Amino acid sequence: MKLIKMSGILLVVMLVFFCYSVSEASTFPYELNVTRDILLGAAGLSTIGLSMYLDRYMEIPDEQDINNLDKSDINRFDRSAADNWSENARSASDILLLSSSVSPLLLLVPDITEREWSDFATVLIMYAEAMAINLGITDTVKVLVNRKRPYLYNNSVSMQKKINGGSGSVKSFYSGHTSIAFCSAVFLSKVYSDIYPGSRTRYLLSGVSLTAAATTGY
């Protein structure tokens, strides 16, 4: 509950930044280009489609495979991660991920209040493109690397939970939560700075959003 409240506070703080910065906005710096945006959208959807196709052919470990796993087979640098399992930490990471993913949509608030629908659509499409490409690349790498998640080696985690992980149990590298959170944070920081280049809060906003993304991964 504390983390949910913190995430809510984080979003409120960011909303205040945007409301405060409306009067500081310069000329809107972006414009859509049909050819470029079709290519970017196609790239994102193609990589997502590729990852989904490859996912169908992944070998999912069964109970016997899991029982045969030996923590000593993990390299020493990562071995300690096998002992780290916390439902609370998992829930906290999910909540921070949601907050980070939603935060760039606050960029749309001034466009809504000022009825700048063209700018609204531009930012929304840009964010959709960024997320699609990021998701596609992230999941494709996960499928190709095919790395088992640490909890498969953890004896304190029930066998049922391990089996229920499905293909996700062998898609450990690299972290999807961290990838999405940083994609959102960098998008928010960059676009905010471009729209409000004179804002005194842009560095603070970047620091807050990037810290939230780092905490999501941690």
pLDDT at 89: 74
pLDDT at 14: 58
The answer to whether the CB of 115 falls within 8 A of the CB of 30 is: no
pLDDT at 4: 47
pLDDT at 26: 63
What is the Cα–Cα distance from 195 to 201, expressed in whole angstroms?
Answer: 12
What is the Cα–Cα distance from 78 to 33, expressed in whole angstroms?
Answer: 44
What is the Cα–Cα distance from 43 to 176, expressed in whole angstroms?
Answer: 19
pLDDT at 209: 84
Q: What single-letter DSSP state applies at residue 148?
A: P
DSSP letters of 3-31?
Answer: HHHHHHHHHHHHHHHHHHHGGG--S----
Q: Locate all alpha helices (DSSP H) within the chain, ordered by sequence.
A: 2-21, 34-55, 63-67, 76-79, 87-102, 109-113, 117-145, 159-164, 176-195, 202-217
pLDDT < 50: residue spans in the chain: 1, 4-5, 8
What is the Cα–Cα distance from 4 to 28, expressed in whole angstroms?
Answer: 34
Q: Per the structure, how many domains does the chain have?
A: 1
CB within 8 Å of 139: residues ≥ 6 apart: 47, 48, 51, 52, 55, 171, 176
The pLDDT tens digits of the residues spanning 41-72 come to 999 999 999 999 999 888 888 888 888 888 88
3-state secondary structure of 121: helix
Residue 102's domain spans which residues?
Answer: 2-217
The answer to whether the CB of 114 falls within 8 A of the CB of 22 is: yes
